[in-house]
Amino acid sequence: MNRAELHRLLRCTGEEEELLYKKAAEVRNSVTGNAVYLRGLIEVSNACGKNCLYCGIRSGNGKVQRYLLDDRQILESALFAYKNRYGSIVLQGGENQSPLFTGKIDRLIREIKQQTDGRLGITLSLGEQHEETYRQWFESGAHRYLLRIETSNPELYARIHPDDAEHSFRKRLACLESLQRCGYQTGSGVMIGLPFQTTEDLANDLLFLKERDVDMVGMGPYLEHPDTPLYAYREQLLPQRERLRLALHAIACLRLLVPDLNIAATTALQAIDPQGREQALKAGANVIMPNITPAAGRSHYKLYQNKPDYEEGAAEMLQKLETGVREAGCRIAFDQWGDPQHGKDRKTVRP
Ligand code: SAM
Ligand code: SF4
């Protein structure tokens, strides 16, 4: 698909839209199967050194009560995921480059690996770090990393971030390259429906993700937060339902563009529609990240308004999820890392 075709498909409606979703699900089923992989999401801290203009836990938001889960809380959550056969976890949080924090994460990666006989897969999503830190964490046992580019348009990137060296597009790109060099299965993604974003931007985003040869993608609708500077532009946004639809289209288009990727059905979809993630599975996604953050942290990790803050690990929640996944024509693959087919032949990727 070229840029013009992507642009057209991102905007399609009616029968063409149905066909797009159907085709994307078929392609997923034939290339990666109908398995859906679980990643237990642990939001380790909402303390962040960055001040992204869209994010509710940005450093400049003085209303946020900051937290950092202690080692025991993180370890217990990881073991919960392991016992409940999740296969993998994601340690996500605000950006913190202090040796105290990076050392803590390193210690936890080793401990989790040790206590699960190396069986629990560990993905990290802890923002921009020095390459030595990325390498250290990789050597300790983390094997996937998520770092969204947020938008592949440098001008738009500049409009949604403060104007300083800490928030530079080039730095973000360099970090993605570092991660790939270290050997991580690298995930990226964008927000959909940002103020000032055009459909051309989105088509370019999809081509960017293909060109950058990422292995996993998480993209979801941008959702406003009242205590952020971008809230001032809320009148210019597409209605939330339209952002959800555009995100589903983007997922389906990406599945057709790069069939062997892991594509996540993100929480932001679910914030707009309780069935948002299941709709994403019908449009070609194959990863779900249930939130298993202990209650002490969850309610303070508010990236946007109406972020679901219930713990999804609970048995009845998982049962509900399983039903939804089945109704979307998929099945949960328990106890599996679910590494993407994409990049499997790369020498640096671990078995
Ligand atoms: N701090 C790390 C980082 O930025 O990569 C990881 C945590 S950060 C909260 C994870 C993602 O949340 C970001 O990459 C961004 O795309 C998303 N996010 C932040 N604010 C959002 C908002 N208002 N609407 C939708 N997604 C948002
Ligand atoms: Fe921090 Fe990530 Fe939010 Fe930016 S998006 S303010 S880096 S938590």
DSSP-derived 3-state class of residue 302: coil
Cβ < 6 A, ligand 2 pocket? 48, 50, 52, 55, 57-58, 94-95, 127
Q: Quote the pTM value.
A: 0.96
Q: For residue 98, give its domain range.
A: 3-343
Query: Long-range contacts: 130-134, Cβ < 8 Å, 24+?
Result: 130/97, 131/178, 131/181, 131/182, 133/97, 133/102, 134/175, 134/178, 134/179, 134/182, 134/184
- Whether 301 lines ligand 1, by a CB cut-off of 6 Å, is no
Give the pLDDT of residue 1.
Answer: 85
Residue 351 has a pLDDT of 30
Tokens of 19: 């066909």
Q: Alpha-carbon distance 87 to 39, whole Å?
A: 7
User: pLDDT tens digits, the chain, 351 residues: what are they?
Assistant: 899 999 999 999 999 999 999 999 999 999 999 999 999 999 999 999 999 999 999 999 999 999 999 999 999 999 999 999 999 999 999 999 999 999 999 999 999 999 999 999 999 999 999 999 999 999 999 999 999 999 999 999 999 999 999 999 999 999 999 999 999 999 999 999 999 999 999 999 999 999 999 999 999 999 999 999 999 999 999 999 999 999 999 999 999 999 999 999 999 999 999 999 999 999 999 999 999 999 888 889 999 988 887 777 777 788 889 999 999 999 999 999 988 878 776 654 433
Ligand 1 within 6 A of 94 CB? yes
CB 264 within 8 A of CB 290: no
* Residue among 250, 326, 210 nearest 20 (CA): 250
HEC assignment per residue over 69-104: CCHHHHHHHHHHHHHCCCCEEEEEECCCCCHHHHHH
Amino acid in the structure at residue 174: A
Asked if residue 348 is part of any domain, the answer here is no
pLDDT value at position 346?
66
Rounded to the nearest angstrom, the distance between the alpha carbon of 55 and the centre of ligand 1 is 6
In CATH, what number is assigned to the domain containing residue 106? 3.20.20.70
Give the nearest ligand 1 atom to 190 CA. 16
Atom of ligand 1 lying closest to residue 268 CA: 25
Nearest alpha carbon, ligand 2 atom 5 = 55
Q: Tell me the CA–centroid distance for residue 67 and ligand 2, in Å.
A: 15
191 within ligand 1 shell (Cβ under 6 A)? yes
- In angstroms, the CA 312 to CA 300 distance is 16
pLDDT of residue 348: 47
In a domain, 351, yes or no: no
Locate 317 and state its tokens: 């929640």
In whole angstroms, give the CA distance from residue 142 to residue 145.
Answer: 8
What is the 296 CA–ligand 1 centroid distance (Å)?
A: 20
pLDDT, residue 296, reads 82
Backbone angles phi, psi at 220, to 5 degrees: -150, 170
Task: Please tell me the total count of domains within the chain.
Answer: 1
**For residue 56, which atom of ligand 2 is closest to its CA?**
3
Residue 345: the pLDDT is 64
CA–centroid distance, residue 49 to ligand 2 (Å): 8
Q: Return the closest-CA partner of residue 181 out of 211, 149, 213.
A: 213
